[in-house]
Amino acid sequence: MLNKKRKVRFYTSKKINAVVCATYVVLMMLPELFMLNTHTWWDAPVATLFNTAYYGVFFWILCAIISLTKRKTEIIIHATLQTVVAAYSISNLFMLIKFNRHWDAYSWQFLCETNTRESSEFFSSYILTLPTLGILSVYTLLFVAEISLSQRVKRWRIFPSHRLSATAFAVLCVVMMGQIVFYGPNVETNYNRVAKFKSPIKRNAMWNIWQSALTSIEFRNEFTRCANSLQRYNEKVTCNEQESDFVLIVGESFNRHMSNLYDGTYNTNPRLKARVNQGNLFIFNDVIASDNGTTQNFKQFLSPVAVGDSCSWCDAPLFPFILRRCGYNVVFYSNQFAGMEMDKEFNASMGFFNAPGIGPYIFNHHNTHTFNYDMQLLNDYCKKRNEIEATKQNFIIFHLYGQHATYSERYPTEFAKFKACNIKSQLPLSKEQRSVVANYLNATRYNDFVVDSIISMFSNRDAIVMYFSDHGEEVYNYRLQQGRTDLKNDDLRAMHHQLDIPFLIYVSPRYAAKHPQMVERISKSVNRPFMTDNLPQVIFDLLGVHTRYYNPSRSVINERYHPQNKRKLQVGKVYH
Model confidence pLDDT, tens digit, residues 263-293:
999 999 999 999 999 999 999 999 999 999 8
Q: How many residues does the chain have?
A: 576
Percent pLDDT > 70 in the chain is 90
* 35-40 mean pLDDT: 67
Residue 425 vs residues 150, 264, 433, 479: alpha-carbon distances, Å: 50, 13, 11, 10
**In the structure, what pLDDT confidence band is assigned to residue 298 with cuts at 50, 70 and 90?**
very high
Residue 220 vs residues 211, 213, 251, 298: alpha-carbon distances, Å: 15, 11, 26, 15
* pLDDT averaged over every residue in the chain: 89
Neighbours of 62 (CB within 10 A): 16
Q: Where are any strands of DSSP class E within 173-307?
A: 238-239, 245-251, 281-284, 287-288
pLDDT value at 117 more than 80: no
pLDDT value at 12 more than 70: no
Q: Which amino acid is at 213?
A: A
Q: What is the pLDDT of residues 168-209, one digit of tens each?
A: 889 999 989 899 999 999 988 998 898 888 889 988 988 988
What sign does the dihedral 176-178-184-190 (CA atoms) show?
A: negative
In 3D, which of 546, 469, 574, 481 has the Cα closest to residue 252?
Answer: 469
The residues pairing with 282 across neighbouring beta strands, listed in sequence order, are 505
**C-beta separation of 326 from 238 below 8 A:** yes
Q: How far apart are CA 135 and CA 93, in angstroms?
A: 8
Say if residue 406 is preceded by a cis peptide, omega within 30 of 0.
Answer: yes
Residue 100 vs residues 88, 278, 457: alpha-carbon distances, Å: 16, 42, 41
pLDDT value at 107 more than 80: no
The residues pairing with 504 across neighbouring beta strands, listed in sequence order, are 283, 467
Highest mean pLDDT among 132-141, 144-153, 380-389: 380-389
In 3D, which of 135, 13, 2, 149 has the Cα closest to residue 72?
Answer: 13
pLDDT value at 10 more than 60: no
Tell how far CA 203 is from the center of its chain. Answer: 21
**In the structure, what pLDDT confidence band is assigned to residue 131 with cuts at 50, 70 and 90?**
confident
Specify the pLDDT at position 8: 41
Residue 482 vs residues 434, 470, 568, 569: alpha-carbon distances, Å: 11, 17, 24, 21
Query: DSSP labels for 423-475?
Result: ---SS---HHHHHHHHHHHHHHHHHHHHHHHHHHHHTTSSEEEEEEES---EE
SS3 at position 233: coil
Environment class of 564 (CB within 10 Å of its CB; exposed 0-12, middle 13-18, buried 19+):
buried
